[in-house]
Structure 1
């Protein structure tokens, strides 16, 4: 083996760094499943469902005019001071901030990277509550930090014993993916505790404009060099393709970070667009953002109710996404996410977050029509999965029954008895579902989506021993084919149903 093959000229710890997983994979999903991008519904990326300000005429904003103005400066380098951008950002957040407190950034990831590279020495301890945004670990690991995860439940009262010796603590507020928002008063004690223990507190307020901007703590930075705030504009204004955001710190720290950041980190388009958007009258309380928060609250409640009726456990949220526990569903988060993608609806599989298993998904709040499509897709995927499981169970149990006869009652099942005491569970999933024959005592009911679904709760037939023996006789000879099931229905079920009329 040559010397060149053995040696890779990078820091050794970088060999262990892996890229983060994110939502918003529209192009990849389109290529994977052959679905045109225009037909995909992306509920995996948490953007403002109210649309961009350019979608609402009352804002008076015209994207073509803004781009025309920006592109006039395409032939020159940006002014690296970004004075207009920083002035607009200070006015946008208010709270007495000035341009000197603002650090421009090309989206959240670059701002996290900037803080990490200016604060962290190799082997410094970084505390990250779990689950949360994975870019924190990614960017800190690049600079050799020792990342320690703590439970979200420790916030905001992180014990001093844990803070001691740490260099940096991240708090995402509202948190991604759980949607929890800490109020100002809850964070004030943590701010003081971090300063007293020489820990830099990085508070990520990327979603606060879509939750409750009154809970921001940007006004506390000037009196505390250990506090840094991050804001992201791409979420609030639903323009993720134009990377724009900023940091807020004391004038002393902001000056140091502006000296250290990459030169010209905002191009002319991002600078112009973001400056215009932040200059909308009212800032965080512009008509556009107020109406956005009202819509999000309304649609989030609608979606929460639909998810609960489906049997999921959505966590209370303050923002434009919902963290959902699907542990009662036999399908895991990865399979559910992949099956929905195949139907053109993207949701976030939360198994990529820190060690939380495959029992959680995150669904972005969308418009009413889109939210109904999300729920319809979930219903369709579960029904398809159920039919597939029914065939698998049928084939498996039929193979056992060929050797041993009817399997009898499965008293170890958590749902036993789902029909009646002493039922035979050979056909756990009815092979005829949905038969839609009311002579079986099955009936149409209103499902969680508001649509009619077939319920066989009152049907006992395929769990009665004499019926099962006859069905096994037919299916053993014919097999678990569509034709075999038709014969089993006509030879076994139909005579019983006719005689009972």
Structure 2
């Protein structure tokens, strides 16, 4: 932009505005890595791994029939009252909710924007616990709100003075991305405190059907005009391409929000499909959703166990995704995510969540076959990364050694001494790996994934100064090749084994 470039006729704070980062980018990664969309496994979007209700005949739902029924109304505007939808949503919660408490929504993002538009003015303070769903921040920033971050751990001990300054607070339960679920009594305590300080509690229960719907507080809205609850259908029923959800609020607040929402925000297909899903016998405790929760529990336990490996610390979850601390791993979340995507497996890089840095990933729970693929691909990527790192370090160290000889002990390394005090670290990564010669002290050990893997833990040879000198005399002159490595082995190891 130059001085003569005319300014855009928009709010100034939007000129530097950036949208949220989300998972589910199948097409984008297909184009980037030239992998067919059908071959990509998406573990970045947290959808019900049990599949859609249309895959289970016992639900009585046939998608083709619902699409045909919805398309019959394609040539007319939807009934903006959405009476059948509201009645079905009220029954679905199973907590005495009434149709007049329901606000139809075109998915979570639209509902967040609706409430923010109706409550927040420019400069109003909004509290957002960290880390959590980034759309809360984005939608409030569009309206010029002032965002103040608090820690998830502080939600149950919120200071009244902090609430006094805030117009609204967002609480995701279970939380995205951590998977932590607050129980009813804990949420009630937060809601009561917010009401006393006249702060709107925006409670996002988008994943509660897949965690524990008995912890919902949907029955508390009528007695608390400062409580708003969001529910999303796309996660529980695994159909994110049909945008649908609803809000729950006390009668007076619900009427205001329903009047203010965009007219006809549910099209004929979304209205028809959503109403049918909500009308499933049992609601949140339908056989389909009960089976889903059982399925998720078993696959989550399996995936947690498999992800619990060196450098990976999966956090206990109550829902269909796992937040993993990889701060003890040598690869950051962005590089790990990109390397996995190159192999057709998408996970969520959590660096876009507030204060997660590049130390966390989120992995969606999938089917057993898909979970095995996720674990196997992580193992492959780690192996490839190790090989790349070894190759890079080996060449860098050889270049340094060519000028000044062996490098000696690397005292700044977190792992020093990995073999013995005073070891030489020129060949941190051994060019002979895997030599498979047990005379060196190396040995075959059981792999955590099953099978055997070659371990150098008890081999000290390439860290002895005299052996390093013999190896360098060959490798610094001839470089790294299959032939030069064989020659270096013969010179350095041949007479010593």
TM-score interval for Structure 1 and Structure 2 normalised by the shorter chain: over 0.9
Q: Distance in 2 between matches of 1:471 and 1:66?
A: 72
Matched, 1:8 2:5: no
Matched, 1:170 2:170: yes
The aligned counterpart of 1:161 is: 161
Cα offsets for 1:41-86 (capped at 9, x unmatched)? 1010001111111112222221111111111111111111111111
The aligned counterpart of 1:315 is: 315
Distance 1:82 1:393, change over 3 A: same
Q: Distance in 2 between matches of 1:290 and 1:487?
A: 64
Matched, 1:29 2:38: no
Q: Distance in 2 between matches of 1:62 and 1:421?
A: 69
Which range moved further: 392-401 or 164-173? 392-401
Q: Report matched runs for 1:411-422 at 5 Å.
A: 411-422=411-422
Q: Report matched runs for 1:223-302 at 5 Å.
A: 223-302=223-302
Q: Would you say the 8 A contact 2:322–2:362 is kept in 1?
A: yes
Q: Distance in 2 between matches of 1:22 and 1:220?
A: 31
Q: Distance in 2 between matches of 1:146 and 1:311?
A: 37
Q: 1:323 is paired with a residue of what secondary structure?
A: strand
Structure 1 unpaired stretches of 5+? none
Q: Distance in 1 between matches of 2:178 and 2:59?
A: 32
Q: Report matched runs for 1:352-501 at 5 Å.
A: 352-493=352-493, 495-496=494-495, 500=497
Q: Distance in 1 between matches of 2:114 and 2:284?
A: 25
Q: How far is 1:277 from its partner?
A: 1.0
Matched, 1:132 2:132: yes
The aligned counterpart of 1:47 is: 47
Q: Report matched runs for 1:13-162 at 5 Å.
A: 13-162=13-162
Q: How far is 1:113 from its partner?
A: 0.4
Q: How far is 1:417 from its partner?
A: 2.0
The aligned counterpart of 1:326 is: 326
Q: How far is 1:4 from its partner?
A: 8.6
Q: Distance in 2 between matches of 1:453 and 1:58?
A: 47
Q: Distance in 1 between matches of 2:154 and 2:460?
A: 50
Q: Would you say the 8 A contact 1:375–1:449 is kept in 2?
A: no
Q: How far is 1:283 from its partner?
A: 0.7
Cα offsets for 1:271-311 (capped at 9, x unmatched)? 11111111111111111111111111111111111111343
Cα offsets for 1:177-229 (capped at 9, x unmatched)? 11111001111121111111111000000000110000001100001111000
Distance 1:163 1:329, change over 3 A: same
Q: How far is 1:490 from its partner?
A: 4.1
Q: Would you say the 8 A contact 1:125–1:165 is kept in 2?
A: yes
Aligned residues: 497
- TM-score with structure 2 setting the length: 0.97
Q: Distance in 1 between matches of 2:288 and 2:165?
A: 44
Q: Distance in 2 between matches of 1:268 and 1:453?
A: 57
Q: Would you say the 8 A contact 2:310–2:329 is kept in 1?
A: no
- TM-score with structure 1 setting the length: 0.96
Q: How far is 1:3 from its partner?
A: 9.9
Q: Would you say the 8 A contact 2:314–2:324 is kept in 1?
A: yes
Q: Distance in 1 between matches of 2:459 and 2:333?
A: 31
Distance 1:472 1:36, change over 3 A: same
Distance 1:12 1:55, change over 3 A: same
Q: Would you say the 8 A contact 1:177–1:323 is kept in 2?
A: yes
Q: Would you say the 8 A contact 2:311–2:327 is kept in 1?
A: no
Q: 2:272 is paired with a residue of what secondary structure?
A: helix
Cα offsets for 1:230-261 (capped at 9, x unmatched)? 00000000001010100000111111111000
Q: How far is 1:413 from its partner?
A: 1.9
Q: Distance in 1 between matches of 2:315 and 2:416?
A: 29
Q: Distance in 1 between matches of 2:4 and 2:267?
A: 38
Q: Distance in 2 between matches of 1:457 and 1:427?
A: 14
Q: Would you say the 8 A contact 2:347–2:364 is kept in 1?
A: yes
Q: 2:18 is paired with a residue of what secondary structure?
A: coil
Q: 1:409 is paired with a residue of what secondary structure?
A: coil
Q: 1:362 is paired with a residue of what secondary structure?
A: strand
Q: Distance in 2 between matches of 1:240 and 1:450?
A: 37
Q: How far is 1:364 from its partner?
A: 0.5
Q: 1:5 is paired with a residue of what secondary structure?
A: coil
Q: Would you say the 8 A contact 1:85–1:271 is kept in 2?
A: yes
Q: Distance in 1 between matches of 2:110 and 2:430?
A: 54
Q: How far is 1:2 from its partner?
A: 10
Q: Distance in 1 between matches of 2:4 and 2:415?
A: 62
Q: Would you say the 8 A contact 1:311–1:328 is kept in 2?
A: yes
The aligned counterpart of 2:179 is: 179
Which range moved further: 445-454 or 240-249? 445-454
Q: Distance in 2 between matches of 1:44 and 1:250?
A: 34
